[in-house]
Amino acid sequence: MLTAAIAENNKKKMGMHAQTVFGQTILGIILLLVAATVILPFLYVLVVSFTDPSVYISGTVYFWPKKWSAKAYQLILSGSGFLNALKSTLFITLIGTPLNVLFNAGLGYMLSKPVPGKKFVNKAVMFTMLFGAGMVPTYMNMANLGLINSWWACILPSTCGAWTVMVMKSFFESIPKELEEAATIDGCGQLRIFAVIVLPLSMAMLATFTLFAFVSYWNTYFSAIMYLTSSAKAPLQVYVQKIVLSTTISDVVDLANELSKEVPQEIMRMAAVIVVVLPVVCVYPFLQKYFASGVMVGAVKG
């Protein structure tokens, strides 16, 4: 009787277990399909970009090339169009990212302190989230400032954003006051407190926003087509758009190069996409560490 009951119980447990395994498998497959929509396009582009022109036949689908080659990359990386665009993107990204983090953190820190006028500044910052002057007045303003066709037009406006300031502000508010008070008693100045105590305590948050800023500057496109009138100054996103989406690629690809006659347009296009997307994909794993943290949740809301 008892053994029968135990057996029955075990059966139930087993049933539950089998059910869980079954459910988890189905779930795993569904999510794998979701993930595949992200992985497969990149994989396909990567494979085709490394296909040797000699085995490439237009109109064929390649999942695995018969012969590998990096000729498309040789052509792309040596072209002056690419090098100019890279230079432009590097300038925008390397100057923009530190300024962005510094300015946002500075204003966020100021608003986390009981400084006179804080309420007013807070409201003024929030208002920029609510209302913008629009494209034409912003462009006119940029022209008045003499920043048309300057990389600074792509850098400066986004060095301070209401939403980042607010997230940083609430982060700084969460740092225990006692730490700063103790430092003040020890004779530490305000700037030193910020540099020596506050910033080191905020490393995870700052790292997250550094990477956000990096990615957004690397992806600069809109402000580039708005303000950069000379094509020699265009950044990588404009370059990739020209090479993939426009019918005349002569102004971005060096036609004097022998390889340009050999490498089919399609392979060239895919190599360009890989080159431009690579830094973001490389930086991305460093972001992953912070996905679960509160900063990211605040981040998504905005």
CB of 159 to another protein, least distance (A): 5
Give the interface size with another protein as a residue count (CB under 8 A): 94
Residues 267, 49: contact at Cβ < 8 Å?
yes
The token pair that represents 164 in the structure block? 């980042």
Which of 18, 140, 196, 255 binds another protein (CB under 8 A)? It is 140
What does the angle CA 195 – CA 164 – CA 212 come to, to the nearest 5 degrees?
90
Query: Whose Cβ is closer to another protein: residue 6's or residue 124's?
Result: 124
Region near another protein per CB under 8 A, out of 3-11, 56-64, 69-77, 254-262: 56-64
Of 37 and 248, nearer to another protein (C-beta) is: 37
Q: How far apart are CA 29 and CA 61, in angstroms?
A: 25
d(CA 185, CA 167): 29
Residue 180: HSE in the Cβ half-sphere, 13 Å Cα cutoff:
20
Asked whether position 289 contacts another protein by CB under 8 A, the answer is no
Report which secondary-structure segment, H or E, holds 46.
helix 2-49
Q: Does 110 bind another protein (CB under 8 A)?
A: yes
Is residue 46 part of the contact set for another protein (CB under 8 A)? no
Judged by CB under 8 A, the residue of 70, 145, 196, 204 near another protein is: 145
Question: Of these, 11, 14, 17, 23, which contacts another protein (CB under 8 A)?
Answer: 23
Out of 72, 92, 213, 240, which residue is the one contacting another protein (CB under 8 A)?
A: 240
CB of 294 to another protein, least distance (A): 8
Could you identify the residue written with the tokens 């100021």? 110
User: Does residue 113 interact with another protein by CB under 8 A?
Assistant: yes
Residue 296 interacting with another protein (CB under 8 A): yes
Tokens encoding 266: 């399609």
- What spatial distance separates the first Cα and last Cα of the chain, rounded to whole Å? 62
